[in-house]
Amino acid sequence: MKEAIFLFLTLGILTTSCTKEEYITPEDPYQRKISSFKVVNTPEVLEATVSETDKQIVLVLPYYLGLTAVELDIKALDGYTLIDNPHNDLIEDVTEYLLNKKEPLIYTFKNDKGELFNYSLKMKAYQPDISVNELYNEGDPMKEYPRTAKVDWGDGPQVYENSIWFRSGDIIKRVNGTEVTKVFFIDAQGNEFELKNISTSRTGIYAYFPENMALGEYHIRVENYSKSVALERPVRLIKMYGEV
């Protein structure tokens, strides 16, 4: 009888021991992992908010600063490490993310157990809507513009640049000498051609055509920092007089 009791107790101890060794306490999914996520190349430090529920970092950028690149200072809490990545320190092409033209950046943290936790970065600017006027009235003939091309008016071939002007309102003009406006011509196949030498003023936008764009009809999209406007009425690009 004593032997049976001893055997029963021994088996119970062994079973309990195995169970304790195999069980690993999972980490609380809502445990904070980020101490701070800051932008440091601004007059005042900007700090993002972190949601542990959906693992998202939300960074609000003052639109009037027109930031096209942000320098970051990210600190993890004790027990966590930020996995190295170039965008940990610097994010370029900020407007591409504000306009959702690029996928959100991902920041990965690792705990002492080697578990990885991914956070997506959402940047916002809360910029007021902009306005860009149509280039001609509804019902009028389609407006035509001569393209930039090489011409010869008797003095030998030379490139002559042509431009287009848009009346606009509420746009952010150049910031620290840099324009934050882009103009795109979009052909029937969806190919986009970015115009160059953008210049903004209180009343409008000047943009120059790249050399030898294909002739034909184009739709137009104007981007200004975090806002984008697609014009409804297309225009036609035509040959320039004297093209060679």
pLDDT, one tens digit per residue, over 54-110 is 999 999 999 999 999 999 999 999 999 999 999 999 999 999 999 999 999 999 999
| Predicted local distance difference test score (pLDDT) of residue 241 | 86
Q: Say how far apart CA 67 and CA 106 lie, in whole Å.
A: 20
Residue matched to tokens 């910029």: 127
User: Cβ distance 205 to 168 under 8 Å?
Assistant: yes
Residue 13, both tokens? 């101890």
| Predicted local distance difference test score (pLDDT) of residue 110 | 96
- Over range 199-217, report the average pLDDT: 95
Q: Among 23-32, 38-47, 102-111, name the one with the lowest average pLDDT.
A: 23-32
Give the domain ranges of the chain.
34-124, 131-238
SS3 59: strand
pTM, entire model: 0.83
CATH number of the structural domain 34-124: 2.60.40.2340
Phi, psi for residue 230 in degrees, rounded to 5: -105, 125
Q: What is the pLDDT of residues 173-192, one digit of tens each?
A: 988 888 999 999 999 999 99
CATH number of the structural domain 131-238: 2.60.40.10
